[in-house]
Structure 1
Amino acid sequence: MIARILYDKGYREYVEAARIVGSRHQHMVFQLLGNIDPEYPNHVPEQEVKRDSIEGTISYLGYTNNVIDKIREADCIVLPSYYNEGLSRVLMEALAMGKPIITTNIPGCKETVDNGMNGFVIPPRDIAALVESMETIINMENYQRIKMGHFSREKAEREFDVKNVIRVYEEITRHLI
């Protein structure tokens, strides 16, 4: 999970899902990368993040401006957010880098996934669905994850390429005039 460390970004759900899935798949590492933002009223206290990391549920990597290397290393990008995202930058980066995605059915997140093709869209705050999606990715053959990643890259090029976005804006503008 790469995000500001806020409860609204699905922190508790991610940690609980990691706890469940990790107990069944001890070889898996569930990483958390992001800024702990005490100025935000819904931030996760640093002590809680440290506790979850010490317990081994997650591996907290701290904060960096360069998330590209961490996305590259990941098998899948998980963002179980119920925060009013807009269009999630980390999910856009995951698409562009050809990664499978697990995210929630909220505006700004759901647009990045064609369910079952390049990842999974789950209901917000649904730990059982998050666990199921994580285990589906884990249990896939490597070629299946690679295929999902190819669908992510194709989706990025097809739907989010700047030339295509400009074309859509021009069409909308023409219809309004």
Structure 2
Amino acid sequence: MKKIIITANSSWYIYNFRLSTIRYLQERNYKIIVLAPQDEYSSKLKKYGCTFSNLYVHTGGVSPLRDSFTVMSYLYFFLIYSPFCVLTFTPKATIYTSLITRLIKTPTIVNISGLGRSFNSDNFLTKIVTTLYKISLKDVVACFFQNNEDKSFFLENELISINQAYKISGSGVDLKKFRFSPVDFEKPLRFLFCGRLLKSKGVLVLKAAAEILKREFGEDLQFDVLGIYSSGDDAISKEEVASWDKDVNLRYLGVSDSVKDIVKDYHFVVLPTLYREGVPRSLIEASALGKVLIATNNVGCTDVVKESINGYLCEKNSIDSLVDAIKKTLDLSPNSYLEMAKESRLLAESKFDEQEILKMYYSVIESIV
């Protein structure tokens, strides 16, 4: 049985975003080894038949000493497991894995799921990361991009060749699991943010907008947050989250392994992200469920949100723009809301069926000699 290593910066990420990939490959007789930091989701991956190894990854930015330990850990695991190929997700895993596999001649398939905070502006960090991508990706078998803007950036800057570049529609969604789930358009209108609790995801922008809107519309609007805590200077602390209910009636719902069972009861899903996304999984899943979407007019988000068709766009890091976008929802009639919800579902069916993405991955893997 051929072994495939799948690696990312957290077990939570792999379990929530890549479990379908794991199961698809297992059904085709591949043994899956997961390399990621250990957390409460590591044991869940083991229950699905994965071999799991704990990997140290520093998530608080660039640290040469700590990151060198990650690189050596990767080398150790690749040598003891001798995988047939490696699939990488998230930036550090992609860069460090590809550097090692280039040296030891192990076929590698990477996924560029957005460029993140490093590419918010053209600075020294951007130049470092760009250089690391150029060195590490030279020999990868395939580089999957979730949007055309990122693909064009890598090609124009000669970080990869055209033969390595593949475009996929985000992470996709299981359309049988995430079924169309419309809700009655009646007050209170319910808005949900679903994602990691990071400043760069726009959580604090939503908090400020919710405070303004709750003062004006009171109990007619409800704002909730669902997601996992993170670490580093971009993270929002547990102490701050605990104060939200008292401040603005922005409720924190905690973490859930059954996101669809929560999202289906909301009218709108909101993602006022500040950085370059791939194609946000939360928006794709919400689209499949038939939710009307509100997101930043930014790379990745515009692949899912079509202005006044299935949602509304706001400007990056603009509280006023987000308030205006949310206010537009108050002018909808029940029929116009339902039509927008249907458009979301149709978009998911036409663009984001995960089976098509899994077939593309499998085709590339099978092409490796």
Q: Normalized against structure 2, the TM-score is what?
A: 0.43
Match of 1:172 in 2: none
- Partner of residue 335 from structure 2, selected from 133, 138, 143: 143
- Partner letter of residue 341 of structure 2? G
Greater share of strand = 2
- Partner of residue 29 from structure 1, selected from 199, 222, 228: 222
Task: Pick which of 16-25 and 136-145 moved more.
Answer: 136-145
- Partner of residue 63 from structure 1, selected from 231, 255, 259: 255
CA distance in 1, matches of 2:225, 2:355: 33
Task: List runs of 5+ in structure 1 lacking aligned partners.
Answer: 170-177
Match of 1:87 in 2: 279
CA distance in 2, matches of 1:111, 1:156: 11
Indicate conservation of the 8 Å contact 1:10/1:125, yes or no: yes
Indicate conservation of the 8 Å contact 2:272/2:294, yes or no: yes
Q: Which whole-Å deviations, capped at 9, do the CAs of 1:66-120 have from their partners, x for residues lacking one? A: 1112210111000001133211111000111111000012222121011110001
Task: List runs of 5+ in structure 2 lacking aligned partners.
Answer: 1-192, 362-369
CA distance in 2, matches of 1:167, 1:51: 45
Indicate conservation of the 8 Å contact 1:78/1:103, yes or no: yes
Indicate conservation of the 8 Å contact 2:292/2:344, yes or no: yes
Indicate conservation of the 8 Å contact 1:15/1:57, yes or no: no
Indicate the SS of the match to 1:30: strand
CA distance in 2, matches of 1:168, 1:123: 34
Q: Which has the larger radius of gyration?
A: 2
CA distance in 2, matches of 1:90, 1:50: 23
Indicate conservation of the 8 Å contact 1:77/1:102, yes or no: yes
- Correspondence 1:54 to 2:246: yes
Q: Which whole-Å deviations, capped at 9, do the CAs of 1:34-85 have from their partners, x for residues lacking one? A: 1111x23300011111112222430111111211122101110000011332
Alignment of 1:1-177 (within 5 A): 1-27=193-219, 28-37=221-230, 39-162=231-354
Indicate conservation of the 8 Å contact 1:82/1:104, yes or no: yes
Aligned residue pairs: how many? 168
Indicate the SS of the match to 2:295: strand
CA distance in 2, matches of 1:167, 1:7: 35
CA RMSD of aligned residues (A): 2.0
Distance apart, 1:162 and its partner CA: 4.5
Q: Percent same amino acid among aligned pairs?
A: 29
- Partner letter of residue 35 of structure 1? I
- Partner letter of residue 141 of structure 1? S
Distance apart, 1:165 and its partner CA: 6.1
Indicate conservation of the 8 Å contact 1:80/1:103, yes or no: yes
Indicate conservation of the 8 Å contact 1:159/1:165, yes or no: no
Bigger relative contact order, structure 1 or 2 (CA pairs below 8 A, ≥6 apart): 1
CA distance in 2, matches of 1:108, 1:86: 5
CA distance in 2, matches of 1:162, 1:34: 22
Task: Pick which of 50-59 and 101-110 moved more.
Answer: 50-59
Distance apart, 1:159 and its partner CA: 2.0
